[in-house]
């Protein structure tokens, strides 16, 4: 309601700005004509210049004569321009008043009516949700970063900060930190596994060739590393080598200590491979939240479109959630949406290849 009152007041003020000068009946004072005034001032200026010695007397004389000639001409034209008064002038003023009273509000309402949305509320960004230890963590990271800036060759520092980065969601920084630590402190199984894990997270759960190489090297150094074995099994599963993956998971379970916390996760993966537990029935801890985010991205892309990066992110997210058909559908829609964007299409195709969606996706 308030908005309508505000708009009404604004309209009234705008109309008044036009009506106000129409209501004033003063006629322009003849003495104030800036044209003749200009030449008068010019003559006075010449006088001042002569008094200050800036102009020679004969220069000043001829300049003054010139200005005076122009003054006379300007005066003559001002006299000729007698202002219109009387009945026709009054009629014109009424016409303009009517125009202002109608045109301004009608046009404003028409234009605003076509493009405005008066009922929409204001959106305020939600205050950033801070973890309980959020501030301390940020301060700690700042300290470590400052230390590393001074002594970048301190591999231990990189090793310490990498998992913190991971926890803060700065996955790419974590990857870099682990890579630096590997370079400075040497390649051991645990560090290689951490590095591989960060790489996997950076790719939303896809075990890339680079990550696989890291896990392979870790296994070579320490054959018992359960995490590296787990990710290699996942890589096999993602490559479609179901049997190999199943064998890996099974042997991993067989070698597991009784109370290992990761056993349920492996069992879960195994069950999914066997098809006995579809993804929807055994959701990962925060799968619902992820699903919500992915759905949000999907609906936004459907309604507003988006960049090639966003489309590929959507495709990858569906694959991670195990929804292959939706990923294929996303690839199809991405191709339509990015039909004019050559580079974008390439990205989508490359991603489809990586995710092994190509065979089905190209079929109509």
Which CB atom, from 111 or from 265, has the smaller least distance to another protein? Answer: 111
Rounded CA-CA distance 174/208 in Å is 16
Which CB atom, from 175 or from 218, has the smaller least distance to another protein? Answer: 175
Question: Is the distance from CB of 324 to CB of 288 less than 8 angstroms?
Answer: no
Which CB atom, from 46 or from 298, has the smaller least distance to another protein? Answer: 46
Which CB atom, from 117 or from 224, has the smaller least distance to another protein? Answer: 117
Which CB atom, from 265 or from 288, has the smaller least distance to another protein? Answer: 288
Which CB atom, from 111 or from 289, has the smaller least distance to another protein? Answer: 111
Least distance between another protein and beta carbon 279 (Å): 26
Least distance between another protein and beta carbon 280 (Å): 26
Rounded CA-CA distance 215/208 in Å is 11
Question: Is the distance from CB of 215 to CB of 228 less than 8 angstroms?
Answer: yes
Question: Is the distance from CB of 219 to CB of 232 less than 8 angstroms?
Answer: yes
Least distance between another protein and beta carbon 271 (Å): 35
Rounded CA-CA distance 37/118 in Å is 51
Task: Please list, in sequence order, all residues whose beta carbon lies within 8 angstroms of the beta carbon of residue 315, skipping any fewer than 6 positions away.
Answer: 327, 330, 331, 334, 348, 351, 352, 355, 357
Least distance between another protein and beta carbon 269 (Å): 30
Least distance between another protein and beta carbon 290 (Å): 16
Which CB atom, from 17 or from 288, has the smaller least distance to another protein? Answer: 17
Least distance between another protein and beta carbon 362 (Å): 28
**Burial 186-205, CB ≥16 within 10 A → b, else e:** eeebebbbbbbbbbbbbbee
Which CB atom, from 17 or from 131, has the smaller least distance to another protein? Answer: 17
The residue among 179, 177, 146, 175 whose CA lies nearest residue 160 is 177
Which CB atom, from 147 or from 267, has the smaller least distance to another protein? Answer: 147
* Residue 77 region by backbone torsions, left for phi larger than 0, else alpha for psi between -120 and 50, else beta: alpha
The residue among 235, 249, 245 whose CA lies nearest residue 356 is 235
Task: Please list, in sequence order, all residues whose beta carbon lies within 8 angstroms of the beta carbon of residue 83, skipping any fewer than 6 positions away.
Answer: 27, 28
Least distance between another protein and beta carbon 190 (Å): 21
Rounded CA-CA distance 31/37 in Å is 8
**Burial 53-81, CB ≥16 within 10 A → b, else e:** eebeeeebeebbeebeeebeebeeeeeee
**HSE of 112 in the Cβ direction (CA atoms, 13 Å)?**
13
Which CB atom, from 172 or from 346, has the smaller least distance to another protein? Answer: 172
Least distance between another protein and beta carbon 33 (Å): 7
Least distance between another protein and beta carbon 201 (Å): 16
| Coil, strand or helix at 33 | coil
């Amino acid at each position: 309601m308030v908005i309508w009152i505000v708009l009404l007041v604004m309209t009234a003020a705008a109309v008044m700005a036009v009506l106000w000068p129409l209501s004033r009946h003063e006629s322009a004072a003849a003495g104030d004509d800036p044209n003749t005034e200009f030449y008068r001032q010019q003559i006075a200026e010449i006088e001042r210049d002569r008094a200050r010695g800036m102009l020679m007397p004969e220069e000043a004389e001829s300049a003054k004569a010139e200005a005076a000639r122009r003054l006379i001409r300007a005066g003559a034209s001002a006299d000729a321009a007698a202002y219109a008064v009387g009945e026709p002038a009054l009629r014109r003023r009424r016409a303009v008043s009517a125009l202002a009273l109608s045109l301004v509000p009608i046009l404003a309402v028409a234009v605003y009516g076509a493009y405005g949305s008066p009922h929409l509320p204001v959106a305020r960004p939600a205050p950033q949700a801070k973890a309980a230890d959020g501030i301390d963590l940020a301060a700690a990271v700042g300290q470590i970063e400052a230390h590393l800036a001074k002594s970048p060759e301190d591999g231990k520092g990189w090793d310490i900060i990498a998992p913190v980065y991971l926890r803060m969601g700065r996955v790419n920084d974590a990857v870099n930190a682990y890579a630096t630590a590997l370079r400075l402190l040497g390649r051991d199984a645990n560090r290689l596994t951490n590095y591989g894990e960060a790489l996997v997270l950076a790719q939303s759960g896809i075990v890339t060739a680079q990550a696989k190489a890291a896990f392979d090297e870790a296994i070579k150094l320490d054959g018992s590393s359960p995490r590296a074995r787990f990710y290699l099994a996942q890589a096999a599963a993602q490559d479609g080598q179901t049997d190999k993956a199943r064998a890996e998971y099974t042997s991993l379970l067989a070698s597991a200590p009784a109370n290992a916390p990761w056993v349920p996760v492996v069992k879960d993966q195994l069950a999914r491979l066997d098809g006995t537990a579809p993804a929807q029935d055994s959701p990962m801890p925060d799968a619902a939240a992820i699903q919500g985010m992915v759905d949000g991205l999907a609906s936004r892309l459907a309604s507003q479109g988006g960049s090639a990066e966003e489309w590929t992110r959507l495709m990858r997210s569906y694959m991670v959630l195990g929804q292959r058909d939706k990923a294929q559908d996303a690839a199809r829609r991405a191709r339509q949406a990015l039909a004019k964007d050559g580079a974008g299409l390439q990205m989508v195709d490359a991603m489809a290849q990586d995710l092994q969606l190509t065979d089905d996706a190209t079929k109509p």
